[in-house]
Structure 1
Amino acid sequence: MDFSKLLKIITKLLIMIMLISILSYILARISTSVYTMLSYYEYSSPRVVEALSKYYGFGVSPLQGALIYLGDLFSGNMGISIFYDMPVSNIVFDALMKSLLIILPSTVLSTFLVFILVIYTIKYIGTRLDRVVDYLFISLMAIPEVLLAIIFFLYLPSSILSMIALLALYQATFIYVFMRRNMVHILSESLDLVEYYLSLGFKGKEIARELIRMSLPLFYTSIAYSISTVIPVLVFVETVFNYSGIGYMMFTALENSDYPLASGCFLILAIIAILSNMIADLISSRYDWRQDI
């Protein structure tokens, strides 16, 4: 990838973050409930009220307030939590580190599991056993995330390993369903190629290996999408397991009407979702010459 494409991707990322930040500011500015909440919230101290009034620019014009808000935000200042009376950046980044302790292992585990299943799909696609596995994953996908979290909480030890297993199952379900639907399409398009390989004397394993190589960009994309889709699930999983990750902090912020903390959690989660999709584009452009970012 040349420097111009990389610069284009970074520019798109910064623009998206800027738009999300401006939206967060506008929602706080046009909502009179935010300032009213600061004035009457039982946990608010005069210091918090003064700091957040300055942070959101309630005493200046909207344009000046927006510039101050963006300057503070890009310098790492996300305001002060009304409920915790602490800098939001400290709370959010500490919670993010805890969430990454379950997201990263679950992604590795689900990737390994689905890769094995993709090999199985290519070899046995269309058979009865293949249909049973497909129906099983579709059924798992239909189960509400909060119900699945409660089942794991009730029947497995309340530990970080249980949360990793739950997220891995959710991600594997999404990746497998996504990959299988597209693998059927790839196989239908590659029938002539398969016949050509057979005429050259290629064996089944060699043909399957080639088809897997062709589907790698799609596989990487599905993994990135799974990270994006698993982010909302964190709210249910961490809340049910009482794990103080960023999903739990988002729930706590909404429950206590802590807008600065909710806004900080939302911004970080949105950046993760954007980054995961950007990484998918980068990897696809590396392995798939048809991908043009």
Structure 2
Amino acid sequence: MRRAVLSYLVTLWAVLTLNFLLPRLMPGDPLAALLDPSSSDYVFDPEVRAALASYYGLDRPLPEQYVRYLWGAFRGDLGHSIRLNRPVADLIAAHLPWTLLLVGTALLLSSALALLGGTEAAWRRGSRADRVLVATNILLANVPVYFTGMLLILLFGARLRWLPMAGGRTPFARYPSAFAAVLDIGRHLLLPALTLTLAMLGAKFLLLRNTMVTLLGEDFMLVARAKGLPEGRLKWGHAFRNAVLPFVAHLAAHAGMAVTGAVFIETLFDYPGMGRLIFESVTARDYPVIQGVFLVVSVVVLTANLAADLLNARLDPRTSERAGQ
């Protein structure tokens, strides 16, 4: 437990440092648009341009900027957006719930489908159903997420017109009830969530299926069969129970993959989440927003890793014993 928490803190410090350095290593400058005479945002007064650079701390030495950044992150002060002139914390608070809704929905759906489908495919290994499921999930694991998203948009949005093609909810809508609001948000969520679910399903399915196929030949399964246990207990009580341990251990990595996929999906569907905010901020070289967004995303992923480690130790006490040796 202590080692996991210490590793979490060290990794968090490393992430904070990289989060500070990477935007500054990018080509361009966050005030480039304000200093470019051909830009519509050009500031003509040189004193105002200098005051802007001083206000955002970009005229200070890099070590001083780093110390100010760490102190601000420790206090929860993520600064102000250069592009939008709004507190970064407010921007994140407005976008983070949408990403959590999208990623959480996709993680739950893909995990449930992978657990059920992977277990059945492994139990019926070599059958036609197994071969079809394996081929389908290999295809899903290798298809680019934006290609899947475009197909779903063309089919369900443009062709059939069953679902909205963009946005998180209907613009300027007035809902007569909370249920109507949930229904509208759910309809806008379906296509992005389905795209992310399909993008993650293949790897999850193959992991569980292959782990369970390996376990079916283990000695404890042969002994359980020799005892005459019913098929349901063999499948779910012995094989599935042991195959799910590596699946839980990889959930944190899947969460990181989901956040990465959300950047493309939210941009494709114009979904108002963190991915869309990242894309727009990187394009504008908005250092405070880039730092704040990546910091929050990193903390979410690291927390998911820590939770997965603790859950895995709870499900499999052997991991705690090995860590203590």
Scaled by the length of structure 2, the TM-score of the pair is 0.78
Choose between structure 1 and 2 for higher RCO, CA contacts under 8 A separated by at least 6 residues: 2
Alignment-derived partner of residue 165 in structure 1: 194
Alignment-derived partner of residue 177 in structure 2: none
1:1-293 alignment to 2 at 5 Å?
5=1, 7-27=2-22, 33-34=28-29, 37=32, 40=35, 43=41, 46=48, 48-53=52-57, 58-59=59-60, 61-156=61-156, 157=163, 158=165, 159-188=188-217, 190=218, 192-209=219-236, 210-292=238-320, 293=323
Alpha-carbon offset, residue 38 of structure 1 = 7.7
Amino acid at match of 1:196: V
Alpha-carbon offset, residue 36 of structure 1 = 5.9
C-alpha RMSD of the superposition = 2.4
Identity rate of aligned residues, in percent? 22
CA distance in 2, matches of 1:97, 1:151: 26
CA distance in 2, matches of 1:44, 1:286: 58
Alpha-carbon offset, residue 29 of structure 1 = 5.7
Report the CA distance shift for 1:28/1:44 in structure 2 as closer, same or farther (over 3 A).
farther
Query: Which 10-residue stretch deviates more, 213-222 or 68-77?
Result: 213-222
Report if aligned partners of 1:114, 1:176 keep a CA contact under 8 Å in 2. yes
Report the CA distance shift for 1:120/1:74 in structure 2 as closer, same or farther (over 3 A).
same
Amino acid at match of 2:319: Q
Q: Helix, strand or coil: the match of 2:285?
A: coil
CA distance in 2, matches of 1:265, 1:151: 29
Report if aligned partners of 1:44, 1:85 keep a CA contact under 8 Å in 2. no
Alpha-carbon offset, residue 80 of structure 1 = 1.9
Report the CA distance shift for 1:287/1:205 in structure 2 as closer, same or farther (over 3 A).
same
CA distance in 2, matches of 1:32, 1:134: 43
Q: Helix, strand or coil: the match of 1:291?
A: helix
Report the CA distance shift for 1:213/1:286 in structure 2 as closer, same or farther (over 3 A).
same
Mark the runs of 5 or more structure 1 residues left unpaired by the alignment: none
Amino acid at match of 1:186: L
Query: Which 10-residue stretch deviates more, 158-167 or 8-17?
Result: 8-17
| Higher helix content, 1 or 2 | 1
Report if aligned partners of 2:23, 2:290 keep a CA contact under 8 Å in 1. no
Amino acid at match of 2:150: I
Alpha-carbon offset, residue 91 of structure 1 = 1.0
Report the CA distance shift for 1:91/1:199 in structure 2 as closer, same or farther (over 3 A).
same
Alignment-derived partner of residue 174 in structure 2: none
Mark the runs of 5 or more structure 2 residues left unpaired by the alignment: 157-162, 166-187
Report if aligned partners of 1:254, 1:262 keep a CA contact under 8 Å in 2. yes
1:211-264 deviation digits (Å, cap 9, x = unpaired):
111122222223332211111111111111111100011111122222322222
Report if aligned partners of 1:102, 1:163 keep a CA contact under 8 Å in 2. yes
Residues paired across the two proteins, number: 282
Amino acid at match of 2:14: L
Alpha-carbon offset, residue 67 of structure 1 = 2.1
Report the CA distance shift for 1:71/1:170 in structure 2 as closer, same or farther (over 3 A).
same
CA distance in 1, matches of 2:291, 2:18: 10
Report if aligned partners of 2:139, 2:202 keep a CA contact under 8 Å in 1. no
Amino acid at match of 1:155: L
Scaled by the length of structure 1, the TM-score of the pair is 0.86
CA distance in 1, matches of 2:34, 2:138: 49
1:78-110 deviation digits (Å, cap 9, x = unpaired):
222221111222212321111111111222222
Report the CA distance shift for 1:201/1:29 in structure 2 as closer, same or farther (over 3 A).
closer
